Amino acid sequence: MPEQTTLTDEELRRYARHISLPSFGMEGQTRLKESSVLCIGAGGLGSPSTMYLAAAGVGRIGLMDMDEVDASNIQRQLLHGTNDIGRKKIESAKDTIHNINPNVQIDTFGEAFKPDNSITIAENYDLIIDGTDNFPARYLINDVAKILEIPNVYGSVFRFEGQVSVFAPHLDGPCYRCLFPDPPEPGAVPD
Ligand SMILES: [Zn+2]
């Protein structure tokens, strides 16, 4: 029998506004605590998504990024602050998320999402957030999510425009390749 998830007194206080929401309640909060999300990219898209998921009480967040914090990141990548310049993004992000909610378990991966590591990492999560900035990773995330039958939340931004979608082909929806069947030629479209 799986162990029953319970909320501590501290968590009951922290999530009081969720728990008092009709149709969310204790059951919704407990399910959030039991859930896990893999966020690929700790940058402009990964920052707000992981910070809100952590605040809301998702139990486990996987963070994947191989970069270090650059001064030009801070204007939008809120996981990182001025004192973090030069640090590994996953370390800086882990500190920020722990400060928001120390109850969240954080797994860090300081590497790129590649064909040879993608399945073994992604299979341990309920959902993937595509916070990457390049097309090879984007298509790989799509394919891995499809194989593992987990939803893929995709976002992209260019100048003043943005796109966001949830792909769940295992629930009869389209996938990223249905929307954009062919990757652009290298250099034809900005990352
Ligand atoms: Zn498809």
**Domains of the chain, first to last:** 36-179 (3.40.50.720)
> Exposed, middle or buried: residue 105 (CB in 10 Å: 0-12, 13-18, 19+)?
exposed
pLDDT at 102: 98
* Protein residues near ligand 1, an ion, with CB under 5 A: 175, 177-178
Between the CA of 107 and the centroid of ligand 1 the distance, in Å, is 29
Question: How many angstroms is it from 125 CA to the middle of ligand 1?
Answer: 21
Residue 150 Cα to ligand 1 midpoint, Å, equals 14
Kindly give the parts of the chain with pLDDT less than 70: 1-2, 191
pLDDT for res 187: 78
What are the pLDDT digits (tens) for 54-95?
999 999 999 999 999 999 999 999 999 999 999 999 999 999
Say what the pLDDT of residue 2 is: 64
Model-wide pTM > 0.85:
yes
pLDDT at site 171: 94
Q: How far apart are CA 167 and CA 150, in angstroms?
A: 9
Return the amino acid letter for 65: D
The confidence score (pLDDT) of residue 1 equals 56
pLDDT the model gives residue 7: 97
Give the whole-angstrom CA distance, residue 165 versus residue 152: 8
Q: Please tell me the distance from the alpha carbon of residue 191 to that of residue 184, in angstroms, as a whole number.
A: 10
Distance of CA 14 from the midpoint of ligand 1 (Å): 40
